[in-house]
Structure 1
Amino acid sequence: MELLPSAHADTFARDHLPPPHAWPELVFQLPELAYPDRLNCAAELLDATVTRFGPDRPAFRTAAGEVWTYGELRRRVDRIARVLTEDLGVVPGNRVLLRGPTGPWLAACWLAVVKAGAVAVTVLAQQRAQELATVCAMARVQFALCHASALADLRRAGVPGLRITPYGGTDPGDLLHLAAEHREGRDDPFPAVPTSADDVALIAFTSGTTGRPKGCMHFHRDVLAVADTFSRQVLRPRPDDLFAGSPPLGFTFGLGGLVVFPLRAGACALLLEQAGPRQLLPALAEHRVTVLFTAPTAYKAMLGELDGHDLSALRRCVSAGENLPADTWRAWHERTGLRIINGIGATELLHIFISAADEDIRPGTTGRVVPGWQARVVDPDGRPVADNEPGLLAVRGPVGCRYLADPRQGEYVRDGWNLTGDTYVRDPEGYFRYVARADDMIISAGYNIAGPEVEEALLRHPDVLEAAVVGRPDERRGQVVVAYAVTREGSAVSEDALRAFMKDELAPHKCPRTFVFLPALPRTATGKVQRFRLRDLE
């Protein structure tokens, strides 16, 4: 595939794309995906939206009641872009690390970096020094915009040559002070760098469920493509919507759901620094949130806290990050009347590519292929399997996996398809049902046992809050099923009681041989269970 002429002066990102023959086939089926050769996604999300809807609409809100209009957001983004280019010396193609709590200033920094033609590398505020050092080394990061409250670990990372500019503090060199200096006589709009549609706009790092992270490089057109497929075709937001959710902006689920999708629709986002289940519910009620993005575990946790919270404004609930159990879907629907929009996405593909909404939803399935995407279920050799037969999920569409100088590209992309690492079943009506992560399949005495099926059964016990199931090596059976459980505070449930419960829920060969009680499951900063750590224990 021949790339368009780049606007990047620093060509590191393009130079470290996988070779074209290792890319997946890209598919642009919808007319909305016919983007021009010159495209800056930040300008499209912000400047073009102001042109369509005017500058006075609210763009971002905070829990404290602060409101940024689109006009104010654009002025602040443009000032930050001027600081980047005029004061700090950032040139198109430089990588800029972004680190801080979810809030309007972090979103504005992301937009400014991309508008200035640089490459945004957004990391999680919870990541520690060694993790940050790894990311900076892999992406050869030269600049960082970091919230004053999150500076310590970044400084401790000791990244050679990294220029760190704090924001949100009192330092005279604070980004916001520098930006304020651009008000006097230089408050004219910052012209977006005319990047190519296939210039890299961001490098998103996988969240570490399997060990060393992978850098996923995404183009300017990719950012708009996920908005013009899943958001436009399935979620269908309205300009008067107020989005909110728990995923941080360093997680592509959060970047899409809390920045890209609302801005593309001319809507508003409530950006919460604290967004656990107990903080979400009062915020949803107080601010009259209409669109919610969070994980299955949060929906389950909120079920027990719903009383006293008015969710009557809520009209859309999106779940991704992990499989959504059918029981959680049904319980949420029974309590709220709302149908959770389940979905599967991947950092490699930026956002959701299989989903369903409204009457198209079937609880217990992920949904159908999002318009603009293609998916099938294949065997280990890449051959399609029959409907109702399990196999590996293969996907292609307008966005594809392009790892940053990583030999694992050849594992993820085969024969032009992205292999997500999930085992799925497709039914004759085109619904895809999640079985397990491919490496979470447990083979015991010749039986294939899907860990998530055992987890769902265990979660039906009233005293079990969280569960994760892995295989333990066994001489006679190859593997045996081991369940790790987090129980309710004060619960006295025993291993024997859980064993008896599971025998009524599942066939004997699927029942765990051992139950291990933990105070918490090991999770990534984005909330995904790190089953590889549990397998290491075994």
Structure 2
Amino acid sequence: MDLSDLIERNAAFTPDKPATIFEGDVLSYAALSARIEQTARALKAEFGVNRGDRIAILSLNRPDYLVLLYACARLGAMLVPLNWRLAVAEQLFILSDASIKLLVLEQAFAGVLPALEHSLPEASVVGLDFAPPSGIAFDALLARAHGDGRNPHTDLTCPLLIVYTSGTTGRPKGAVLRQEALLWNGMMSQHMHGLTSDDHVLTVLPFFHVGGLNIQTTPALHIGASVTIHSRFTPDTTLTAFERDRPTLTVLVPAIIQAATEHPDWATTDLSSLKAISTGSTIVPPHLIERFVNRGVPVLQVYGSTETCPVAVYTRLGSDLSRVGSTGLPGLCCEAIIIDDAGAELPPGIPGEIAVRGPNVFYEYWGNQQATREALHDGWYRTGDIGLRDADGYFFVHDRKKNLIISGGENIYPAEVERVLLEHPDVVECGVIGRPDVRWDEVPVAYVIRRTGCSVQADDLKAHVLTQLARFKVPRDIVFVDDLPRTALGKVQHFMLRRLDMPQSSQGDAL
């Protein structure tokens, strides 16, 4: 059995039921299952996709994103979702690191193709909504489908996703998630949300995030529910969907909650169909939770990461939601504990690092044994996040041990930005931190030591970073200094930079 069999079984039980709704088009479970099978046959016949091959996708949300995921499951291949907000140089690194066999993309992101053809000339290209100059359109590909759409020895133990997440080394790491991780993750989501085949999920988070893909979307399809897909989030379309499409569940990160609840139509939008919303990705301000609670909609919190698929700790619909600041209890199918630096479990009330173990946890970092060994110990994934448990076992997340900056739900690692800044010839040393921001939760800020005699300006460095990294990773402010706070061994102390930056933080930053 593989993960695509769940779609096939739902198609047998309820063939005419809507599986996905996208821009007015409805795909029934029977049609979704048939398209998955056709796609798998086409990929195998046209490109010889075998078990273990990597297929990348660069696209906004659309039903064929999910079709490709389950076709990969059917073939035992791996899907590599690409963040469309990244710079071409970042996308190219991921494509090269994963040694992809095939790239499937929207025409809007065709700017990556010249670089791809130069660096990976052997990679094939499929256009979701166009015919690439040296490739084929997706519908034309499906017309060529023939033969068997399965590969031998394909089952739930096969790796299915390689989801890249920035690391403390400054280069992204590809977390490998097996098919069974999505299965167990789905069971926990169903437990968390009381999710049944009668539910209707609204998905506005991007599929390149495990949050958009796996908190509700794939769990809903596994149980036979319906999913309305938005290509991307906008406050207008989300509020309109609440009234018109009548979803029962959705996931909104804090930045999206803020944007939706500050829209002029928020106060008059009918939310009566929602039995709950879920949120996470960062520490969630209580005042944002209250905006939905005051409208009669319960807010569930979920804690996890790319490496946990992501569901690991959560509050459950119908359970105790009164503990302000708590992200809940360990999930139904995994374990979570608080440990000290030596890996020993700490008692309630003592802060330490959060560790997670279970079948939802990632298998390895793609091609990076050292990083895998550092993160996984006897099956326990050390998250790098600091938190504590209370006497009843509820978790409270306090800080991010690895200096992670979360801006509008997007992860930014200082080491990655620092690496690019240091490539500029006029930069001697730098430190990047997150500054609190009223709109984005945090924005990156760089403290820079210039080379003696050089007069490089902030705008010059921002332009330099933008050539290599996504816009949201470009430092919002660059502060030139003569020295940086350091440890005895000369390592920059980011926590001291954050303290120094506090007076400026109170000013707030706008996009």
Report TM bin, short chain.
0.7 to 0.9
Indicate the percent of aligned positions where both proteins have the same amino acid.
23
Change beyond 3 A, Cα 1:98–1:513 = closer
Q: Secondary structure at the match of 1:77?
A: helix
Q: Determine the C-alpha separation between the residues in 2 that align with 1:279 and 1:209.
A: 36
Matched residue, 2:276: 316
Contact 2:354-2:387 at 8 Å conserved across structures: yes
Matched residue, 2:3: 41
Q: Determine the C-alpha separation between the residues in 1 that align with 2:171 and 2:95.
A: 13
Q: Determine the C-alpha separation between the residues in 2 that align with 1:168 and 1:258.
A: 26
Contact 1:329-1:363 at 8 Å conserved across structures: no
Give 1:59 shift: 0.4
Residues 323-382 of structure 1, C-alpha deviation per residue, up to 9 Å, x if partnerless?
212222123201x21111101111111111100123322231110111121111111111
Matched residue, 2:143: 180
Q: Determine the C-alpha separation between the residues in 2 that align with 1:163 and 1:471.
A: 39
Q: Secondary structure at the match of 2:383?
A: strand
Match of 1:356 among 315, 329, 335: 315
Give 1:205 shift: 1.0
Contact 1:40-1:192 at 8 Å conserved across structures: no
Segment of structure 1 superposing worse, 471-480 or 115-124: 471-480
Give 1:246 shift: 2.6
Contact 1:480-1:513 at 8 Å conserved across structures: no
Contact 1:471-1:482 at 8 Å conserved across structures: no
Q: Secondary structure at the match of 1:399?
A: coil
Change beyond 3 A, Cα 1:240–1:192 = farther
Matched residue, 1:420: 383
Q: Determine the C-alpha separation between the residues in 2 that align with 1:242 and 1:513.
A: 44
Give 1:56 shift: 0.6
Letter of the 2:10 partner, please give it.
T
Give 1:475 shift: 8.3
Change beyond 3 A, Cα 1:438–1:86 = same
Segment of structure 1 superposing worse, 203-212 or 306-315: 203-212
Q: Determine the C-alpha separation between the residues in 2 that align with 1:248 and 1:192.
A: 29
Change beyond 3 A, Cα 1:110–1:209 = farther
Letter of the 2:77 partner, please give it.
A
Q: Point out where structure 2 has 5 or more consecutive residues left out of the alignment.
A: 405-432, 448-483, 488-492
Q: Secondary structure at the match of 1:83?
A: helix
Q: Determine the C-alpha separation between the residues in 2 that align with 1:149 and 1:108.
A: 20
Report whether the alignment pairs 1:102 with 2:42.
no
Letter of the 2:326 partner, please give it.
T
Q: Secondary structure at the match of 1:434?
A: strand
Report whether the alignment pairs 1:167 with 2:141.
no
Matched residue, 2:335: 374
Matched residue, 2:193: 235
Contact 1:422-1:436 at 8 Å conserved across structures: yes
Matched residue, 2:242: 284
Matched residue, 1:465: 439
Contact 2:53-2:100 at 8 Å conserved across structures: yes
Matched residue, 2:39: 80
Change beyond 3 A, Cα 1:514–1:247 = closer
Residues 15-49 of structure 1, C-alpha deviation per residue, up to 9 Å, x if partnerless?
xxxxxxxxxxxxxxxxxxxxxxxx311222x1122
Q: Determine the C-alpha separation between the residues in 2 that align with 1:100 and 1:310.
A: 31
Change beyond 3 A, Cα 1:194–1:40 = farther
Match of 2:155 among 196, 217, 242: 196
Letter of the 2:343 partner, please give it.
G
Give 1:140 shift: 1.1
Q: Determine the C-alpha separation between the residues in 1 that align with 2:245 and 2:98.
A: 38
Residues 400-426 of structure 1, C-alpha deviation per residue, up to 9 Å, x if partnerless?
331112222232123542111110011
Q: How does 1:196-235 map to 2 (within 5 A)?
A: 196-206=155-165, 211-228=170-187, 230-235=188-193
Q: Determine the C-alpha separation between the residues in 2 that align with 1:87 and 1:294.
A: 39
Normalising by the residue count of structure 1, what TM-score does the alignment of the two structures yield? 0.74
Report whether the alignment pairs 1:250 with 2:212.
no
Q: Determine the C-alpha separation between the residues in 2 that align with 1:212 and 1:475.
A: 23
Q: Determine the C-alpha separation between the residues in 1 that align with 2:235 and 2:81.
A: 24
Matched residue, 1:91: 50
Contact 1:58-1:67 at 8 Å conserved across structures: yes
Change beyond 3 A, Cα 1:116–1:218 = same
Q: Determine the C-alpha separation between the residues in 1 that align with 2:42 and 2:399.
A: 47
Residues 453-476 of structure 1, C-alpha deviation per residue, up to 9 Å, x if partnerless?
xx9x977xxxx4344388985589
Change beyond 3 A, Cα 1:167–1:465 = closer
Residues 192-231 of structure 1, C-alpha deviation per residue, up to 9 Å, x if partnerless?
7551332212211115687311111111211111112x21
Give 1:483 shift: 8.7
Q: Secondary structure at the match of 2:119?
A: coil
Report whether the alignment pairs 1:135 with 2:94.
yes
Matched residue, 1:451: none
Q: Secondary structure at the match of 2:83?
A: coil
Report whether the alignment pairs 1:410 with 2:368.
no
Matched residue, 1:518: 509
Give 1:108 shift: 1.2
Letter of the 1:325 partner, please give it.
P
Q: Secondary structure at the match of 1:387?
A: coil
Letter of the 2:220 partner, please give it.
P
Aligned Cα RMSD in Å?
A: 3.0
Matched residue, 2:19: 59
Letter of the 1:91 partner, please give it.
N
Q: Secondary structure at the match of 2:365?
A: coil
Q: Determine the C-alpha separation between the residues in 1 that align with 2:267 and 2:287.
A: 19
Matched residue, 1:430: 393
Matched residue, 2:225: 267
Q: Determine the C-alpha separation between the residues in 2 that align with 1:480 and 1:83.
A: 54
Give 1:126 shift: 2.6
Give 1:303 shift: 1.9
Q: Determine the C-alpha separation between the residues in 1 that align with 2:100 and 2:158.
A: 17
Letter of the 1:519 partner, please give it.
A
Change beyond 3 A, Cα 1:413–1:57 = same
Runs of at least 4 residues off by over 6 Å? 469-472, 475-478
Contact 2:358-2:379 at 8 Å conserved across structures: no
Segment of structure 1 superposing worse, 286-295 or 464-473: 464-473
Segment of structure 1 superposing worse, 94-103 or 318-327: 318-327
Give 1:271 shift: 1.0
Contact 1:296-1:320 at 8 Å conserved across structures: yes
Matched residue, 1:123: 82
